[in-house]
């Protein structure tokens, strides 16, 4: 699954603050000086763990002083002395928190995690000190109610609107007693969310499947065996094979391992993360979070947490989200049942009498793919070396937007595996810096995401270029071969690069509205539309080159990929929709959840009729998107944006893949504009009409599915 993650501590969470100013300011701390580095990127090589807490607290102190200056200004509130002054406050805090939050996700350690737990309540308190400041809100409200006299342009009006709403939505209108309740809830949520993610990482890293009998490797491709042998050697088990819960290890194991008992063992470890009754168990914490979110929403005047969140989305209401998901659920589940029947028939045909189980699904799906389309994923991977796929991503971006990418050798990086590139416009003008970090490690959480170390903004009329990063967990190179990607990893690369373009091409005045600072159900449009180019045959032939021979991927193999394009979409769409509906069920509760998380999940899935052979893409106890990643009531966003991206790509398919007029319009109306307008306005400005669902149904092969109707 493509996913993008905007770090909690790097974005929203970093608007907090609290005191502890008794710590002395250490001017040797690299955060207290201007960055003397290429393109002013963070000086990773001189930043040490001990620098973070003092710098965060100094940032809190500085921003509080800036807020006090706004509040104590005796002049009449204006857009400049109130709204812009607030927007520009907290520069040091943002500077530190972006680095801290990103490292805590991409290159963490026990000390960083301890600092995060220590600082979370203080940062939460600081956020509340700002949004619950009555005098500050009075000034914001004054500007908001008298905005016609300030001659604001469209972006300034949007900044004012967002600032006012932010304060109202964060409790500015509450009485003193309710404000204290809100502070307590926010503090608890900040700690619980952080701990949830740390528990998932710990549980993911803790499991190791050691294989010491080569016969148990039957069915596994050689490159996976080589990677497992290398991992075992690194862990001190030379001569054995080590498999983990990292996606590049577990997913191909489930896909190819003939040993059914070992498939069951690793699958159970994967789906029981955070649910084993240990100190890393997340069941109680996630129920507490769901209940606290509901309590907070009701304190602020909303019936449910989903009502609170979706007010600021394209969907607007939970009813609209349920309508879309249910519209897709029926054909997706019907398709999944067809797939189940085909796989069960294959099991019987092989002479076995067992029933298909969740740990069998990927194994028999792969066998069925080979039977139906003569397609083996291992036949495809040699054409998708990471280096060549990267060249393909760069080529598509260049042909669409004229951008070029130049690796920077002498620049600080946060890990030896992270590489940096200068991104330039077609005329050679500097656009931004892009870090890319591709492979799994124990210090990195799972998944794939884009983030920023510096969002774009204007500084005295001059564009301050962004520093963007994409972080993935792709298959590693082995001693015998470079990193060879699955086709899913190929599309993930294109996906995350779309997010990166959203950040890099941003051209707005204020950092709080730059790049990906848009509603959750719009942010996936720039990423998902890029996936469409990855799968186009003419584009694929430009980057899919055999890593040994240099041969271009044959037309026959492309045809197999194309013909199998909708294969497995019943499973993929069903497991995704199940997770989306589970998210909504947690967050549309109007009263406290009083049951165990397992029971809640079971009840939720029984309600929609999820078959036993499929579980939600993310079970509750490791559903990081919604319990530690900012997507609560918003996991549906990927499918909502799927409607947008498939409709938007038709603008190119109907003309030409690299239509410059369409590409320029997409850049100007969507990628450059960040959150400076309502998403639907931006989409219609690009496309000329609102999106339709038809293209998405066709793409997933769900338009011709027969749906069982029950009375």
Q: Which runs of consecutive H residues, i.e. helices, occur in 72-133?
A: 85-88, 91-106, 110-131
> Structure tokens of 174?
């509450």
Distance CA 447, CA 1 (A): 8
**Which DSSP helix (H) or strand (E) runs through 666?**
helix 660-666
Catalytic residue among 339, 496, 575, 613: 496
- Three-state secondary structure call for residue 224: helix
551 is catalytic: no
168 CB contacts (<8 Å, ≥6 apart)?
Answer: none
Rounded distance, CA 45 to CA 416, Å? 11
Based on the number of CB atoms within 10 Å of its own CB, is 346 exposed (0-12), middle (13-18) or buried (19 or more)?
A: middle
CB 184 within 8 A of CB 274: no
Burial per residue of 599-635, b for 16 or more beta-carbon CB atoms within 10 angstroms, e otherwise: ebbeebbeebebeebbbbbbbbbbbbbbbbbbbbbbb
How many C-beta atoms surround the C-beta of residue 657 within 10 A? 17
Q: How far apart are CA 589 and CA 422, in angstroms?
A: 47
Sheet holding 404-408, edge to edge: 404-408, 419-424, 430-437, 467-471, 449-454
φ, ψ for residue 437, nearest 5 deg: -140, 110
Q: Residue 79, SS3? A: helix
- Tokens representing residue 563 in the block: 């013909």
CA 303 to chain centre: 27
701: alpha, beta or left? (left if phi > 0; alpha if psi -120 to 50): left
The dihedral through the CA atoms of 275, 278, 281, 283 has a sign that is positive
Question: Which stretch of DSSP H or E encloses residue 424?
Answer: strand 419-424
Contacts of 589 (CB under 8 A, 6+ apart): 290, 291, 294, 304, 305
Look at residues 381, 401, 351, 335 and name the one whose alpha carbon lies nearest to residue 222. Answer: 381
Query: Residue 449: what are its φ and ψ, rounded to 5°?
Result: -160, 165
CA distances from 537 to 369, 548, 566 (A): 20, 21, 16
Q: Tokens 């050689």 sit at which residue?
A: 222
Which pair of tokens denotes residue 184? 């307590």
- Cα(337)–Cα(611) distance, rounded to whole angstroms? 8
CB-based contact 412:45 (threshold 8 Å): yes
Give the helix ranges, DSSP H, for 374-505.
Answer: 377-380, 386-401, 487-504
- Angle at which helices 679-687 and 637-653 cross, to 10°: 20
Which two tokens mark 352?
């076995």
Give the span between the Cα atoms of 600 and 304, in whole angstroms. 17
Token pair in block for residue 372: 């139906």
Instruction: Judge contact between 336 and 611, C-beta under 8 A.
Output: yes
Residues with catalytic roles: 496
């Amino acid at each position: 699954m493509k996913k993008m993650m905007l770090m909690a501590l790097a974005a929203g969470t970093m608007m907090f603050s609290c005191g502890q100013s008794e710590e002395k300011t250490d001017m040797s701390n690299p955060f207290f000086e201007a960055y003397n580095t290429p393109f002013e990127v963070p000086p990773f090589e001189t930043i040490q763990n001990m620098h973070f807490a003092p710098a965060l607290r100094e940032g809190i102190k500085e921003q509080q002083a800036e807020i006090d200056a706004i509040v104590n200004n005796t002049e009449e509130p204006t857009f400049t002395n109130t709204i812009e002054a607030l927007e520009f406050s907290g520069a040091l805090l943002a500077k530190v928190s972006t680095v801290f939050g990103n490292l805590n996700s991409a290159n963490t350690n026990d000390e960083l995690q301890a600092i995060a737990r220590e600082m979370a309540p203080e940062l939460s308190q600081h956020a509340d000190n700002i949004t619950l400041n009555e005098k500050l809100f009075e000034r914001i409200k004054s500007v908001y109610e008298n905005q016609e006299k300030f001659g604001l342009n469209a972006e300034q009006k949007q900044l004012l609107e967002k600032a006012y709403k932010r304060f109202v939505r964060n409790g500015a209108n509450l009485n003193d007693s309710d404000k204290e309740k809100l502070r307590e809830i926010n503090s608890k949520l900040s700690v619980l969310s952080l701990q949830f993610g740390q528990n998932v990482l710990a549980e993911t890293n803790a499991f190791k499947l050691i294989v010491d009998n080569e016969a148990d490797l039957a069915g596994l491709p050689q490159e996976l065996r080589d990677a497992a042998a290398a991992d075992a050697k690194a862990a001190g088990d030379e001569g054995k094979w080590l498999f983990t819960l990292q996606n590049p290890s577990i997913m191909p194991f489930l896909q190819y391992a003939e040993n059914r008992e070992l498939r069951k063992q690793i699958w159970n470890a994967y789906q029981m993360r955070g649910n084993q009754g240990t100190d890393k168990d997340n069941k109680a914490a996630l129920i507490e979070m769901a209940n606290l979110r509901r309590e907070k929403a009701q304190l602020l005047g909303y019936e449910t947490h989903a009502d609170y969140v979706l007010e600021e989305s394209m969907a607007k209401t939970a009813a609209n989200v349920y309508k879309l998901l249910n519209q897709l659920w029926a054909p997706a589940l019907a398709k999944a049942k067809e797939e189940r029947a085909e796989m069960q028939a294959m099991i019987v045909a092989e002479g076995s009498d067992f029933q298909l189980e969740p740990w069998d699904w990927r194994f028999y799906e792969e066998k069925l793919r080979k039977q139906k389309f003569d397609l083996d994923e291992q036949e495809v991977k040699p054409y998708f070396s990471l280096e060549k796929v990267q060249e393909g991503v760069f080529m598509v971006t260049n042909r669409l937007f004229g951008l070029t990418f130049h690796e920077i050798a002498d620049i600080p990086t946060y890990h030896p595996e992270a590489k940096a590139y200068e991104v330039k416009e077609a005329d050679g003008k500097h656009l931004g810096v892009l870090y890319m970090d591709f492979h799994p490690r124990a210090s990195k959480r799972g998944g794939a995401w884009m983030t920023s170390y510096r969002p774009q903004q204007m500084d005295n009329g001059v564009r301050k270029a962004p520093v963007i990063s994409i972080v993935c967990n792709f298959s590693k190179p082995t001693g015998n071969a470079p990193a060879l990607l699955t086709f899913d990893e190929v599309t993930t690369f294109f996906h995350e690069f779309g997010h990166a373009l959203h950040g890099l091409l941003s051209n707005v005045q204020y950092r709080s509205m730059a790049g990906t600072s848009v509603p959750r159900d719009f942010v996936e449009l720039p990423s998902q539309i890029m996936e469409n180019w990855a799968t186009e045959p003419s584009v694929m032939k430009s980057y899919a080159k055999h890593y040994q021979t240099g041969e271009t991927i044959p037309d026959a193999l492309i045809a197999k990929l194309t013909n199998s394009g909708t294969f497995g979409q019943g499973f993929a769409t069903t497991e995704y929709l199940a997770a989306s509906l589970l998210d909504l069920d947690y967050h549309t509760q109007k009263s406290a959840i009083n049951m165990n998380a397992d029971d809640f999940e079971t009840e939720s899935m029984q309600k929609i009729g999820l078959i036993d052979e499929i579980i939600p893409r993310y079970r509750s106890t490791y559903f990081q998107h919604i319990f530690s990643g900012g997507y609560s009531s918003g996991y549906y966003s990927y499918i909502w944006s799927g409607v947008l991206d498939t409709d938007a790509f038709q603008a190119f398919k109907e003309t030409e893949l690299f239509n410059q007029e369409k590409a320029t319009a997409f850049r100007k109306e969507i990628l450059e504009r960040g959150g400076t307008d309502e998403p639907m306005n931006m989409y219609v400005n690009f496309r000329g009409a609102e999106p339709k669902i038809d293209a998405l149904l066709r793409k997933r092969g769900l338009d011709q599915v027969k749906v069982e109707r029950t009375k």
